[in-house]
Homo-oligomer: A and B are copies of this chain.
Amino acid sequence: MSSNTADKIREAAHDLIAARGYFGFSYADVAEVVGIRKASIHHHFPSKVDLVVAALVQYRADMVAAAKGLDSKVVDPLQRLKLYVQHWEECIRNSNRPICIAALLSAELPALPDPIKAEVQLHFRYLAGWVKSTLRDGAKYGSIHLEHSAEVEAQSFVAVVHGAMLSARALGTPDVFTSISKAALDRLRPSN
């Protein structure tokens, strides 16, 4: 029923946020990508805040779905984290949304409108929560060894993945993401 123009606009916005951040793109940029006029975007998303919030809501929904998918289809929790990392590695190598938009927006956070701030926070909370429970599952399952509390290990894992995205972007080398994230996964193995 719903036209997919709104979807196209939201996806274009996601791409542009991933490339340039909140202040780095305009309605004109979105209009050019989608192939419609600037004013038409306002019909679907009255304000820029609405558009970015919509992109973040969709982004989180996708993440939740992917996490649930991993939880139900992959037995080994360590393998789930490996697949999570692998997903980002592919995005970075293909230059396809090669960074988490919530992580990117968190950098600009103090300047962002409150509704966007709230969505970014929700993403961080959900992601850290999923990693934490996955780490706990892995400890029980026997494939993961936790040096510190699950909470601290989860926050560290999220941080190192986000930091690795920044380094890969800064240095222009996807390899640096690969080696950092491999090391982060390796460190969770009980054989150490």
Contacts and interface: CB of A to CB of B under 8 A. Distances in A.
A121 B171 contact: yes
A20 B162 contact: no
B147 A187 contact: yes
Chain A binding surface SS class: helix
A22 to B, nearest CB: 8
Contact of A21 (B108, B128, B169, B192): B108
A137 B45 CA distance: 55
Contacts of A176: 155
A147 B103 CA distance: 28
Interface stretch (A4-12, A64-72, A78-86, A178-186): A178-186
A57 interface: no
A166 interface: yes
Contact of A163 (B21, B159, B186): B159
A30 to B, nearest CB: 14
Interface centre among A111, A121, A153, A180 (most CB of B within 10 A): A180
Given A19-B110, A23-B21, A167 B187 contact: no
